[in-house]
Structure 1
């Protein structure tokens, strides 16, 4: 599910390039293809996240996948810009539904908080794989003279298979353990979680992380070109041929490193102190951004894609630890709150960077300065988290109650 979603969402840059020509739309209009699906995910996560707790994981996942499949297959008849944007918005709503169900399900199949974090990194690793192959599929389709819409048809086929699997797989039961609590699950209770310090803290961390990460895949190509004033991107300022190739495929390099890092994160997060890893990795991101800006394009060419390694485990761990701070019957609602802030960061971050860059003459360097600010705030928050460990007691209590782990076992982990 995560890979299928990433195949479509992270191909948006390639798709926008084709849509602008086919429908003669402006940059602002084309940007709706990114911002409206993100808005759909955000609102769906916040307003419908409670469905995973109210209706159950299985029903919620199948509902979300069904809506996503409907949107995907409808691209076969999508020949109007407004219709295309509407379908993308519907797919965003669907993602918010099935992803909160999936995130809640991870808690049901985990036997401890550490296993939960490792599993979450595994799921997000497949998201990283989808982010790599999605744009490649679009590029191949266009090269073969096939409409980009068939990417969604492919995703729809995968989605249909996932619906069949989801319908027949046996799911862990959690309702019987929290029957009275499940009755109380509602939109009102879901919205109240926004004020909870644990949900809000991890959600703000997710917002800052995604805002900083989006600078890489949205603005790095603009920063690395040699002459941004020309209509055609040039890479003549890189003397070495390998450097020029890296500049052209820098975003792909970032996604590959991020995916590899998440697979390594499955091992890392089951053995190491998560707070220490996140603090060190966020600090490395700040260093890469800062040195890349100070040293110019020649250094940024290597340091910006390298952040994929350091970014790899941050978001899955935020998701895992944020969800793990709450009992299982609230996992869907909490996942929805974190997803709301995630999508908000993905929408607001690039927009703020673009506005700042435009105000400073159009140089993407200034947008990366904003991104460095987001990364610095993230590091400060994670430094506080490591030094003060404000979630330790909460995570231990939940682990003992929901996972049946003794206090001594939890402390040793």
Structure 2
């Protein structure tokens, strides 16, 4: 009997380990495309002769797709199960990637970008809910969330490097999406073969799950508090990977002169790969965050890191491009743990049977921030002659408000009691 129990436990642990790695790889795969957008926007502007505002739709429509999907389809993971929802989302994402092979107009590409955003919203909410199913405590949940976002960071490093190589070698940047589609197909096969854990049953008195469940959460102070924080954070973060490449380039007539204003070799190299440096620092910080969030007060860490982000933005604006070249990528260190911790603590304020729905609500505000932030920056930059500096003033405003909110969270700690209650009921 003991042997059978031990074998079953070992099998369960092995399966949880596999599910965790599948989740990490899903995050890495879609980051390859989503966080390459800053590099892609530069090519889109040249290829289709569009303005900053029009080019920013490459990012904004993707995020609008995620936002719509998160709010109106987030309940699918709770209603139909994590596995079916993940496979559905991955299949839609793969389809959108492969269709890049058959269309070349700017409008068609924007349509595919929107479809891929809808797909990401479907499988990401299910993946976020799945993290709750395999976690044994709220602290472990936060650690696993940082792990997932760390692999997202790895994908965010790989994607821009691939695009930079493609541009240098004269390869069409659209092939990045085809590559992501191939990886997505492999993940579909792995997800189909995996044995997912039993989904948590609804709590007593729980109402039937539907998109109304998501709308109901818009009145919940815990869901809205973390959602607004996610909006502000992502609006500031996306400023770096969407508009930093445009801010750092010199006033030049050709691609070869883009970084001519940086006189020494290392500076030119850093300017060329600034987005990859930012993502590298963010990914490294998230791996450290797995350890950090098990040992330190998460509210204190987030408050101090948000202050550091604000100071980096101010330094990059006040000191010009030569200072921003170092200050803006450095924000990756301080941004590393903020979003996964927001996501984890926000989801952990609810029963596991609601994790897909609440993950969708937070994802809606995340995507709304990622769509609105860069779009507003593009509008402001165009209004002042196309200089990205003015857009970064907007991003600095987002970071200031985020810091003030996290300062309030640290001082008053409004979620402490709720997290203790959930820990005792859902994770004991």
Please name the residue that 1:2 is paired with: 27
Distance 2:261 2:88 in 1: 51
Of 159, 169, 178, 1:134 maps to 159
User: Quick one: structure 1 residues 362 and 333, their matched pair in 2 at CA, closer, same or farther if it must change by over 3 Å?
Assistant: same
Q: What is the alpha-carbon distance in structure 2 between the residues aligned to residue 20 and residue 151 of structure 1? A: 18
Residue deviations 1:180-234 (CA, integer Å, cap 9, x gap) = 63x6111112111012111111011011101111221222233333447x56654
Report 1:5-404 matches (<5 A): 5-23=30-48, 25=50, 27-176=52-201, 178=203, 181=206, 184-227=208-251, 234-404=258-428
Structure 1 consecutive aligned stretches of length 4 or more whose deviation exceeds 6 Å: none
Distance (Å, rounded) in 1 between the aligned partners of 2:179 and 2:75: 30
Specify whether residues 236 and 195 from structure 1 end up closer, same or farther in structure 2 by C-alpha distance, changes over 3 A only: same
Report how many residues are paired: 402
Shift of 1:294: 2.2
1:101 to partner: Cα distance: 0.2
Gaps of 5+ in 1: 405-413
Q: Deviations over 1:140-187 (max 9, x none)?
A: 344455433322222122111111111122222134464863x61111
Once the two structures are superposed, residues 108-162 of structure 1 have per-residue CA deviations (whole angstroms, 9 ceiling, x without a partner) of: 1111111111100110111111111112223334445543332222212211111
C-alpha distance in structure 2 between counterparts of 1:12 and 1:6, whole Å = 10
CA contact under 8 A between 2:303 and 2:406: conserved in structure 1? yes
1:9 CA displacement: 1.2
Contact 2:167 2:173 (C-alpha < 8 Å) held by counterparts: yes
Q: Normalized against structure 1, the TM-score is what?
A: 0.91
Deviations 1:51-94 (CA, angstroms, capped at 9, x unpaired):
11111111110111111112222222223333322222111100
- Give the distance between the partners of 2:182 and 2:294, measured in 1 at CA: 34
Deviation of the 1:23 alpha carbon = 4.8
C-alpha displacement at 1:19, in angstroms?
A: 4.2
Give distance in 2, aligned partners of 1:60 and 1:330.
15
Structure 1 stretch displaced more, 126-135 or 214-223: 214-223
8 Å CA contact 2:38, 2:243 repeated in 1:
no
Question: Unaligned 5+ residue runs, structure 2?
Answer: 1-25
Structure 2: distance between partners of 1:334 and 1:109: 17
Task: Indicate how the Cα distance of structure 1 residues 17 and 376 shifts in structure 2: closer, same or farther if over 3 A, else same.
Answer: closer
